[in-house]
Amino acid sequence: MNPSRPSRRRFIRLVVLGAAAAPIVAALPRSARAAELPHLEESDTLAAALGYRHVATEVDAARYPAYKPGQSCANCKQAQAAQADGWLPCALFPGKSVSPKGWCGAWLAKA
């Protein structure tokens, strides 16, 4: 008996199963394929400390003079590719997503 046969059969079975499952997975809505990160709350301790707001135009400009109109999470270097709901994972808030219209004091221009 060839000892490599069982693993070869197993490999072929996995390839066939994977090929059969691919169209099913592709047909699922994106939200069913990958869990989306929960939205960051403005009341989150770090968010509040950085003046995060879901809508940048609501930023207290007197308290955060670094804020300039036009700046938002959507054009911040810390933001990553948008989820299906449009919210963005942010390097500063692991495990959370931020509003594309949001802003916080750690905003950095994309290069």
Segment near ligand SF4 (CB under 6 A), from 4-12, 19-27, 61-69, 99-107? 99-107
| Contacting residue, 37, 53, 79, 97, with ligand SF4 by CB under 6 A | 79
Query: Binding to ligand SF4 by residue 106, rule CB under 6 A?
Result: yes
Question: Could you give the CA distance from residue 80 to residue 40 in angstroms, rounded to a whole number?
Answer: 14
Query: Binding to ligand SF4 by residue 103, rule CB under 6 A?
Result: yes
Beta strands in 2-111 (DSSP E): 88-90, 93-98
Nearer to ligand SF4, 37 or 92 (CB): 92
* Closest to 64 in 3D by CA, of 80, 49, 46: 49
Instruction: Quote the least distance from Cβ 31 to ligand SF4, whole Å.
Output: 21
Query: Binding to ligand SF4 by residue 92, rule CB under 6 A?
Result: yes
* Residue ranges in 39-58 that form contacts with ligand SF4 under rule CB under 6 A: 52
Structure token pair of residue 58: 């609501």
Q: How many helices (H) and strands (E) does the chain have?
A: 3, 2
* Residue ranges in 13-42 that form contacts with ligand SF4 under rule CB under 6 A: none
Residues that bind ligand SF4 (CB under 6 A): 52, 73, 76, 78-79, 90, 92, 98, 102-104, 106-107
